[in-house]
Structure 1
Amino acid sequence: MLAVLEAERFTRKKKQWSNRAGFEALLQLALDETGYTFDQVTHWSGSAMGNVLLSHEQRRCDWTTETTIRLFGTDVPFLAVNHHLAHAASFFASPYDSAVVDACDGGGDGRQHVAYHAQRWQGGARIRELSDVDTGAFTGVFYDVCSFYLYDRYCQEGKFMGLAPYGEPDDAAIAWLSARVDRFSTQPHEVSYAELHERFGIDRFDVDDPRCANLAKNVQTVFEAERVKQLAAVGDLDGNIVLSGGSALNIHANTAIRERFPDSSVYVAPCCDDTGQAIGALLYQANVLLGVNPKVPLPFIGLGSRRPEPEVTDAQAERVVADLLDNRVVAWHWGRAEIGPRALGHRSLLCAPFTDAHRQLVSEKVKRREAYRPVAPVLLTDRRGEWFGGGWESPYMLFADQATPTTVHKAAAVVHVDGSARIQTIDDDHVLGKILRLLDQATGVPMLINTSLNGPGEPIVQTHEQTLAFCAGQPDVVPYLEGERR
């Protein structure tokens, strides 16, 4: 796989869908970036749902549809792929030869949750739906509805998840919500909002109103239990599980699944949500229909500088560590962008993790985020057992782990109120590996705060100019472009 472009990185509007002109502009940018011409492309594929290149009838695709689309004034053959099937095809980016694939989100192509079994072998692959699995009506819609009720805005699930640990469990509320999971997943949203208001009586979100945090806590508790129940319904898990769809961004639900099935290996792609739709369609076409198993060098396959030097120099790493120990926030812009919604070390804001004041600096002062939202640690994989109880690898920041007393004492900034952290584990060959080794030598702490390089309501930055613009007027932030301090 050569390049992945996410429209929002270029339009600078989060979750913006492209029109035809926008699609063609992105496609031309991808062709220019990779050195190919339009005439050299032999196959085209994409998700069916919401695709403006397709007719409305073609967008309602149950599996795949071979059709024709018009690009750059030319008719070309096109494979339209069902929304959840495209999610499931993230299996082909995993290290597995076979797995159960769970695709769960807030909607798409008429369904919200589908279970599959996927396999691949030399020269071939297949995905089949597990139609005999009773997945129930429960979907990510339940979580969407509850978070919208609290915030009166869409796409607030991340904030909702961050607020949940501040709440108190309520058995009566959990029972009430559990009894309405399927209903909230299927009935008109306005009806669900009315029922929630009648039960919880929250007129508007107020971080100081304990009812808000309590609602988030109890919804999160139900969501995790239902996600585990969905996987348990599959039966034979084949040793490997792939989680896909927007619900796989819920790190605590992912962690609950990993804990419930300790004998299974669990994989979540960094683009498990709709940012991975195009990748999934392409991987399905390549693996299943063409018998080709392309390498997918996740996660750094966005656009960006292709440096001749493969790593940070000693002098650059030393300067970064000096800035971090001087209580600066480092705006780190390196090479090709990571894909998906989580910054993983190429478009990141980095900060020392030692005290809660460091969290306040990077999260509240620099990014202007709510105080209750956690920040994530990036740490060296071979040191994870000392700092976190589970000792799991988590390269894409999609699992939580419990902090050890050492972490609470020495890296308080990354520990959430419930003692958890949304960890990212990296090896020495990662661009931040040398920086973490030097920081460890200097302080005994092999981790940093790592949060996305963007302001409130903005997508992650794409270009050098955007990084410099973010840093302008922020004396606490030091930009590093391709390892060089600016």
Structure 2
Amino acid sequence: MKKDVYVLGTGLSHNGSVVILKNGKVAIGIEKERISRVKHDGGNDSLAVQYCLNALNITLANIDLVVQCENFCTPPQDQFSGKRLFEDYPETQFHTISHHLAHAYSAVGMSPFKAFNVLVMDGCGSPYEQCIEPDKPLLTDINLADEVGMVCEKDSFYHYDGKTLKTIFKDFSPMESITHTGYQLPTTRHSIGGFYAAVSNYCFGNMDDVGKLMGLAPYGRNSKIDFNPFELKDGRVFLNGNWYSPLKTPNNSWDGLKSNFGHYAEVAFWAQQQVEIAVAYTVNHRQSLSPNFPLCYSGGVALNAVANGKLVQQGLVKSLFPEPAAADNGLALGCAYYGWLKLLQGNKVQHDGSTCFGKTYTNEEVLKAIQNYPVSFTYRPIDDDYTVITKLIESGKTVGWFQHGAEFGPRALGRRSILANPAKAEIGKHINNNIKFREDFRPFAPAVLKEDAHLYFEYAYESPHMIMVDKVKQASKGLLAATTHVDGSARVQTVTEDWNPRFYNLLIAMKRQTGHGVLLNTSFNKKGQPIVETPEQALALFNETAMDVLVIENYLILKPD
């Protein structure tokens, strides 16, 4: 019998994660934060490695190859922010790759295309000296030879022909070292992602969830800020030295944001617009270097779902695949695929589109968690037609939905979700205030049957990973009152049966119940907390919030009267 080949990829930056491939296919994957319960947790990878080994019922002795990536260093095999499990397996084949290469290979592994381009844009990649790509540019060629500080990857562009990844264009930037009256970029000096993070910090007083700047921006759509923070020249993006000029009154609290909401909304809208312009310019230039190919897109900037949608709407790309775990949580995935495709020269196994890499909890484990929980919940098994659930949702109840292996990446896609009726306009405010405990301007996503997307959305492009924003048709805004943002947009999830059958069947049941196969879908967590991973975590959040109903696998759970 042929031996199974296991490749373990581990990302040790912030948003740490571990992925194991078995014979070239994802067998298991987890973000460290889901286990440690510390948002954006990274560094030492022992927790995540052990989770993955346990899920597959193997040990490190079964692992043929380990590939790792951090950001600014090469972590030792035995120690990194504490002892690593690899210390006891010194014979394990161990490799380190650079940051953008890991991002690129995550897109290569997940891509639905056979031949395509890959663009990586983030806050900051690896230092020039640690970048292992042999065809990287000379610093003299990009006018950076005289820089005395650290120079790091800014954006990278590749072509994958079905077998080999070739570097076409790489840009680097010095690290930011100057504080502008308190406004310091947390990244390289000319980073699009760094600019967006800095403005998010200005508006919210932290960078815990940079993406919520997208949610704030539409409230400032009448912004009168007229200032270009970027210089777009010779296919490269540069941040002007006075980029921070519109930033006059930094905020550090929710009360501060509310007291001057109009100003921060206008700043958010300005920043979002400028990022869209810079992204479009970069994409247009890079695609001109390798025309007529689909584009795969990774790095933290690729999580800007508004900019992603406009790339398609404006015809800058014919086919776009933003890698679902585009931020540093996807590094482990790229490391694993680099190990399989590049180091072991394995054949690319076409991915099925799923990002749900977590372990599945058995009904026995679920039942044990319910029975051992300190609160005596009412629970019973449910059948597969889900009518009882859709009736509850139609009536205005909120439902925690926990099914099979959890999603890998920042979006809940119907495995660890909170669901509600999108036609109930007031339900969004209720979820934000009493379940998520977060800012009330935060929007919600509609999950829709893929075959029905054209009924509700202007462009109706395929968006299975909730990473593209569409426009809601005028006639549908009432039906989708709770998932239509203030500017008429929505970050859509299109659902198919192939890798998400239970969620698909729930939408089918919702369509039978209401005539519309659409649900409000938001992640199963509260502000500052990672998405739940275990049944115990789901029960705890259910108990402490105003969530009405919980469904874990085949059990319907209600609170005591």
TM range (shorter): 0.7 to 0.9
- Other-structure match for 1:149: 202
Deviation at 1:368, TM superposition (A): 1.4
Does the CA-based 8 Å contact 1:380-1:433 persist in structure 2?
yes
Does the CA-based 8 Å contact 2:103-2:330 persist in structure 1?
yes
- Other-structure match for 2:258: 207
Tell me the alpha carbon deviations over residues 64-91 of structure 1, each in whole angstroms, 9 at most, x when there is no partner. Answer: xxxx994325343211111111111122
> Are 1:281 and 2:335 an aligned pair?
yes
2:423 match: secondary structure: coil
Q: Of 299, 312, 316, which aligns to 1:258?
A: 312
Deviation at 1:229, TM superposition (A): 0.2
> Are 1:366 and 2:432 an aligned pair?
no
- The more displaced of 155-164 and 389-398 is 155-164
Q: Of 361, 367, 384, which aligns to 1:305?
A: 361
- The more displaced of 135-144 and 403-412 is 135-144
> Are 1:441 and 2:492 an aligned pair?
no
Cα separation, 1, equivalents of 2:426 and 2:316? 36
- Other-structure match for 1:130: 168
Cα separation, 1, equivalents of 2:323 and 2:478? 32
Structure 1 unaligned regions, length at least 5: 59-67
- Over 3 Å counting, the alpha-carbon distance change for 1:238 and 1:443 in structure 2 is same
1:414 match: secondary structure: coil
What residue identity is the alignment partner of 2:322? Answer: V
What residue identity is the alignment partner of 1:303? Answer: K
What residue identity is the alignment partner of 1:301? Answer: F
Q: Of 107, 113, 118, which aligns to 2:124?
A: 107
Cα separation, 1, equivalents of 2:259 and 2:70? 43
Give me the TM-score of the superposition, normalised by structure 2: 0.76
CA-based RMSD of the aligned residues comes to 2.9
Cα separation, 2, equivalents of 1:48 and 1:427? 35
Structure number having the greater helix percentage = 1
- Other-structure match for 1:455: 526
Give me the TM-score of the superposition, normalised by structure 1: 0.87
Cα separation, 2, equivalents of 1:50 and 1:303? 31
Deviation at 1:461, TM superposition (A): 0.3
What residue identity is the alignment partner of 2:167? Answer: E
Cα separation, 2, equivalents of 1:306 and 1:185? 51
Tell me the alpha carbon deviations over residues 14-39 of structure 1, each in whole angstroms, 9 at most, x when there is no partner. Answer: 011132xxx23432221221122222
Q: Give percent identity, aligned residues only.
A: 26
Deviation at 1:115, TM superposition (A): 2.8
Cα separation, 2, equivalents of 1:146 and 1:180? 19
- Other-structure match for 2:28: 3
Cα separation, 1, equivalents of 2:489 and 2:551? 30
Q: Of 58, 63, 73, which aligns to 1:41?
A: 63
Deviation at 1:159, TM superposition (A): 1.8
Deviation at 1:196, TM superposition (A): 4.5
Deviation at 1:253, TM superposition (A): 1.0
Deviation at 1:163, TM superposition (A): 0.3
Cα separation, 1, equivalents of 2:172 and 2:117? 14
What residue identity is the alignment partner of 2:164? Answer: R
- Other-structure match for 2:399: 330
Once the two structures are superposed, the pairs formed by residues 50-449 of structure 1 within 5 Å of their partners are 53-54=75-76, 70-72=86-88, 74-89=90-105, 90-110=107-127, 111-121=152-162, 125-131=163-169, 137-170=190-223, 173-178=225-230, 185=239, 195-197=245-247, 200-202=248-250, 205-209=256-260, 210-234=262-286, 235=288, 236-261=290-315, 264-292=318-346, 293-297=348-352, 298-305=354-361, 315=384, 317-429=386-498, 430=500, 431-449=502-520
- The more displaced of 265-274 and 71-80 is 71-80
- The more displaced of 206-215 and 223-232 is 206-215
1:254 match: secondary structure: helix
Does the CA-based 8 Å contact 2:237-2:282 persist in structure 1?
no
- Over 3 Å counting, the alpha-carbon distance change for 1:132 and 1:469 in structure 2 is closer
Deviation at 1:184, TM superposition (A): 8.1
What residue identity is the alignment partner of 1:36? Answer: I
Does the CA-based 8 Å contact 1:375-1:449 persist in structure 2?
yes
1:413 match: secondary structure: coil
- Other-structure match for 1:64: none
2:229 match: secondary structure: helix
- Over 3 Å counting, the alpha-carbon distance change for 1:306 and 1:53 in structure 2 is farther
- Over 3 Å counting, the alpha-carbon distance change for 1:283 and 1:291 in structure 2 is same
Cα separation, 1, equivalents of 2:551 and 2:488? 32
1:423 match: secondary structure: strand
Deviation at 1:212, TM superposition (A): 0.8
